[in-house]
Structure 1
Amino acid sequence: VALLEDERVTVELINDGVHLHPSVLDLAYGTAGPDRVALITDAMGAAGMGDGLYPLGPLQVRVENGVAMLPDGSSIAGSTLTLDRVLRRALLVHGLTLPQAVESLSATPARLLGLADSVGSLETGKLADLVVLDSDTYDLVAVMRRGRWAVGGDRFPTVRSA
């Protein structure tokens, strides 16, 4: 709790329902707020993949029901979490507002990495990196990287800056 009360500290949380009890995220938001909580994934190569065995450096990791564990079951071995699922959990499980969740997923990490002048929010002069999610399911619809559609852009008109 002391870290949450220290305004110099930003807390990184893996919101997958495995690494942390849901009450930890609720406590962090209630104490520190979205500008001091960075939602992260700790994703390994099996992120977004099905169950099975995957390499993690020199280790073999078993993924079952989306949970990455060492084969003997002794330890969590990263996560299979993708950021769209982090957002979905923040909204549906924890009741965060969309602006709170987006701030913790983009603006807060960009600020921590010293990149807030170029990424982390949609503003004139910043790189146009964004994802478009379905408004009902929060499933990935499209990805724009540096102002160009990388995935799914055929669904949207081309936008040109003046």
Structure 2
Amino acid sequence: MRTAFDFSPLFRSTVGFDRVFDLLDNASRVSTFDNWPPYDIIKTGDDQYRVTLAVAGFGENELSVTQERNLLLVGGEKAAAEDTQYLHRGIAGRSFQRRFELADHVRVVGANLANGLLTIDLKREIPEAMKPRRIDIKADLSLPKAEKTQIESDVKAA
């Protein structure tokens, strides 16, 4: 059973949050759960991350890593060996595609394949214009002083 949330009331009072609403809508959808290939996501620093996928049996030329705007796509396609006859096939060699949603300003720094593990390093680089900046406060002693005004008068009501 799926509970559909209606985000339309929020559209009236928000600007630029379309992507967030799309992410929430996609997360609420029931999809087939595919857990292959297994992967880890590690935070290696304040603004650095590492995604490691277990891709045993795949070579560099059989894997692809693509970064779109806010999406990391990792795919693998094994070349079919027509002349091989397996008595038992336990090592998965099926094609796959993993999708990772990336936050704004996260980019792929590099990818490495070693010992059957594909490691993808990510880094968040916030532009200078978006970083918080300190505003200096100056004390200006030359401001004009307010004049004193009389609120009460000496005249009494009869």
Normalising by structure 1, report the TM-score.
0.21
Instruction: Name which structure has the greater RCO, CA cutoff 8 Å, separation 6+.
Output: 2
Name the one with the larger strand percent.
2
Q: Which has the larger radius of gyration?
A: 2
Question: Quick check: which one's helix share is greater?
Answer: 1
Q: TM-score, normalised by structure 2?
A: 0.21
